[in-house]
Amino acid sequence: MVGVAQGTQVLTLDGALPVEFLAPGDRVITRAGARRLVSVSMTAAYGAAVRVAPGALGHDRPEQALTIGAGTQVLVRDWRAKALFGAREALVPVTRLVDGEFVTLAEPGLLRLYALEFDQAEVYYADGVEVSGAAAGALV
């Protein structure tokens, strides 16, 4: 399952908005600049998710507890990237960061995940964490 949980704040040109308020055409702030959102898909299902505690991925990253689909990729740009991948930064499935203390598997339950699609793959900001957004059509 890919996406961020309902209530996650996504950085847009209109400020931080809950992901469920986003719609196609909205301008989302990405690492490459403001990009138009092509689509927002919501999946409601029981499944694997990861909970990231506040500050687990750096100062104020995330700003609050973040629940994210187990198949979602996040960008790491700290010692983890160097230690795990030998690179300055790396886009990795969030499950690779599970440490049992600060990044944990969430309790199974019904979860609403929102996946964002852009014209091309982008990295956007969700509660301060850099999350991978798919290129349009990639989630089909």
For residue 44 the two structure tokens come to 């409601």
What is residue 85's predicted lDDT score, i.e. its pLDDT? 84
User: Rounded to whole angstroms, what are the CA distances from 92 to 24, 83, 98?
Assistant: 26, 13, 11
For residue 88 the two structure tokens come to 């300055």
What are the boundaries of each domain within the chain? 4-135
* Exposed/middle/buried for residue 124 (C-beta within 10 Å: 0-12, 13-18, 19+): buried
What is residue 140's predicted lDDT score, i.e. its pLDDT? 47
pLDDT tens track for 55-91? 998 888 898 999 999 999 999 988 888 888 889 999 9
Helix (H) or strand (E) holding 84: helix 79-85
CATH superfamily of 4-135: Hedgehog/Intein (Hint) domain (2.170.16.10)
Low pLDDT (below 70) residues in the chain: 138-140
